[in-house]
Amino acid sequence: MADSSRPPLSTVAASRLSGWLGHLGVSPMAFDDTLSLIDPLLAIHHLRARVVSKVSETPSASTVVLQAGAAFHGLLPGQYVMIGVTIAGVRHRRAYSPRAMAGHPGRFAITVQRQPEGFVSKFINESLQVGTVIDIEQAAGEFTLPLPLPTQVLLVAGGSGITPSMSMLEHLHAKARHTRVTLVYFARSAHERIFGQALQQLAANWPQFQYVPIDSVANTPSDGGGRPAPQAQAPVQLLDIELLNRIMPNWAEVPAYCCGPAPLMDAARALWHAASASANLHLEAFAPPKPSGDPNEHHSVRLLRDHSAQHFDAAGNQTLLVAGEEAGLSIQHGCRQGICHECTCRLNSGSVRDIATGERIDGQGQPIRLCVSSAMSDLELEALN
Ligand SMILES: Cc1cc2nc3c(=O)[nH]c(=O)nc-3n(C[C@H](O)[C@H](O)[C@H](O)COP(=O)(O)OP(=O)(O)OC[C@H]3O[C@@H](n4cnc5c(N)ncnc54)[C@H](O)[C@@H]3O)c2cc1C
Ligand code: FES
């Protein structure tokens, strides 16, 4: 891990004490609750972090610096951290790509772009206060740099997809300054470019870093943050082979990391595939793809929960979570992104499409995640949470 590879002694001691108390019938959560009375960050099972600062990056994005307790294991650049916030009495979990804060164990920053009608991103930008304690989980995710660190890296980012790239850039600058890094960063305008100034400064002081900012409305759709609609003459530049060949002739041969809106990632997938270099391309999606089924095809869903059955209809272009909610059901969920598994149900019969993997699943009792599944036939589901 980048900022702390071993848990501190206090955490080891607290874990041992929790284990011994467990033998005496004291649950780990009760132990955590007692520690939390002293300081919420002392908890070792239910991780928490305190907001230590918050700044605006652009009119619609803010950076929040969080201090986690000693039980947080640290993070690798490019990974995500699930955070949990309570809004109007309901807990919501979302993933954000953190940057470690050098010299401050357990401290990291997340930068959150407000999404159109986005529940949590709006709350973080507008209402989250310094001093608030929020839930966090250990860092996870495979969108990370190879070890040993490579001699050349290509980063491609669009909009808020800059956050994992920024984490990797800061790490490479600190630990492997000889690595040649190219960053292609699509944003709607300089004004809306997250970390715009910091990236210019890094480029000015780090000869190995090639920074290619591109203003384009093609890969960065509006975030609905109250910004003016793009003008007719707004620039449209796509990620294409001419651009890649011009800025980095050996682009297909180096490890490449792409994170951004779906059109940008689709373009990258197609370019690397055409160059027979898909193995070198790593992709991170911030939002699952939309279900592409027929909106006019409606399937009947029977959901077994708490010894009773509920029924709703699901169109081919809806996730099962959204279809159930639109029918007025309160369905257990967390991240809505296929990560936390809180919406998992057993698929007893019928077929669904997993929109995260594209896979068709035919019901034989397998677990499926309702937030990333769409119906392909009538279904029977059984709630597992
Ligand atoms: C691994 C991972 C890392 C992430 N890292 C970051 C990060 O560093 N910074 C960041 O700002 N976000 C990041 N996200 C996205 C973040 O988790 C939330 O999805 C985002 O903040 C929107 O949540 P919300 O509650 O505001 O929107 P919701 O209320 O869940 O959704 C509202 C609407 O916005 C749409 N929407 C949701 N997310 C996006 C999106 N990313 N782009 C376009 N439309 C969207 C939904 O389809 C929906 O229509 C990451 C996601 C993942 C999976
Ligand atoms: S709500 Fe998290 S996986 Fe579905």
- Helix extents (H) in 81-205: 119-126, 162-175, 196-205
**DSSP states of 238-303 as a string?**
---HHHHHHH-TTGGGS-EEEES-HHHHHHHHHHHHHTT-GGGEEEE-SSPPPP-S-TT-EEEEEE
Ligand 1 atom closest to 113 (CA): 11
Q: What is the pLDDT of residue 334?
A: 84
- Encoding tokens for residue 189? 């305008």
Protein residue whose Cα sits closest to atom 21 of ligand 1 = 121
Chain-centroid distance of CA 17 in Å reads: 34
pLDDT by residue for the chain (385 residues), tens only, comes to 444 445 565 666 666 666 676 676 766 766 677 666 667 777 777 899 999 999 999 999 999 999 999 999 999 999 999 999 999 998 899 999 999 999 999 999 999 999 988 999 999 999 999 999 999 999 999 999 999 999 999 999 999 999 999 999 999 999 999 999 999 999 998 899 999 999 999 999 999 999 999 998 765 555 444 444 555 556 777 899 999 999 999 999 999 999 999 889 999 999 999 999 999 999 999 988 889 889 999 999 999 998 899 999 999 999 999 999 999 999 998 888 898 899 999 999 999 999 988 899 998 999 999 999 999 999 999 999 8
- The neighbouring-strand residues paired with 100 are 108
**How confident is the model at residue 46, as a pLDDT?**
84
Among the atoms of ligand 2, which is closest to the Cα of residue 338?
A: 3
Q: Provide the whole-model pTM.
A: 0.85
Answer whether 114 contacts ligand 1 (Cβ < 6 A).
no
CA 146, 152, 156, 159 torsion: positive or negative? positive
Ligand 1 atom with the smallest distance to the CA of 117 is 32
User: Residue 337 CA: which ligand 1 atom is closest?
Assistant: 53
- Residue of 92, 319, 339 with the most ligand 2 atoms within 8 Å of its CB, for mutation: 339
Q: Is the CB of 62 under 6 A from ligand 1?
A: no
Identify the residues whose C-beta falls under 6 Å from ligand 2.
Answer: 333-336, 338-343, 369, 371
